[in-house]
Copies of this chain bind each other. A is one copy, B any other.
Amino acid sequence: MQLKNHVEWALHCCSVLAALPEDERIPAKLLAELHGIPREYLSKALQALSSAGIISGTLGPTGGYKLARAPGRITFLDIVEAVEGKGRTFVCTEIRDNMPCAEKPPAKGKTRRPCAVARVMYDADKAWRSHLQSVTLADLAKTVEKEVPLRVLKGNAEWLAAKRNA
């Protein structure tokens, strides 16, 4: 079981967008080139982020993407769920119903308490999501700023600016 690499791409792209001056934008093409990842395929991830309301895209030349709200109000969970879906990592297929002496499955429309096995897995899933929800893009930016050499940060920012004005 593995998250798709859309997740990694989306997180890194959002990290870049979080460092962007207000009212500036970066087109998908540049985000792809910056990270050395396939442009067309990255677009799908960005579109997912956009339709989830995390980033906002504008058309036309000078168009591109920017964060749709403040970095402090975007969590890792928001991004992961936008790209990966909100479905749980463990899916219960109710194999208890297949046992020779099983309780009757609930009537259509009615629900039943999940089985004990599923509940443990769901709780673990919840712990995972809970941690992702506790970290925002603002937190990430603070960490990056602290541990990535200024030379690297400035270098990449300048590369972006140069490309956008070319």
Which one, A44-52, A61-69, A116-124, is touching chain B?
A: A116-124
Q: Which residues of B contact A135 (CB under 8 A)?
A: 120
The answer, yes or no, to whether A138 is at the interface (CB within 8 Å) is: no
The answer, yes or no, to whether A105 is at the interface (CB within 8 Å) is: no
List the B residue with the shortest CB-CB distance to A146: B116
Q: How far is the CA of A124 from the CA of B81 in the complex (A)?
A: 14
Number of A interface residues, CB 8 Å? Answer: 59
The answer, yes or no, to whether A107 is at the interface (CB within 8 Å) is: no
Q: Which residues of B contact A89 (CB under 8 A)?
A: 1-3, 89
**Of the residues B3, B9, B116, B148, contact of A95 by C-beta under 8 Å:** B9
List the B residue with the shortest CB-CB distance to A120: B135
Q: How far is the CA of A15 from the CA of B117 in the complex (A)?
A: 9
Chain A 1-32 interface mask (CB, 8 Å, partner B; 1/0): 11111011101100100000000000000000
Q: How far is the CA of A102 from the CA of B93 in the complex (A)?
A: 46
| Contacting pair A159 B101 (CB below 8 A) | yes
Q: Which residues of A contact B (CB under 8 A)?
A: 1-5, 7-9, 11-12, 15, 34-37, 76, 84, 87, 89-93, 95-96, 98-103, 113, 116-117, 120-121, 123-125, 127-132, 135, 140, 143-144, 147-149, 151-152, 154-156, 158-159
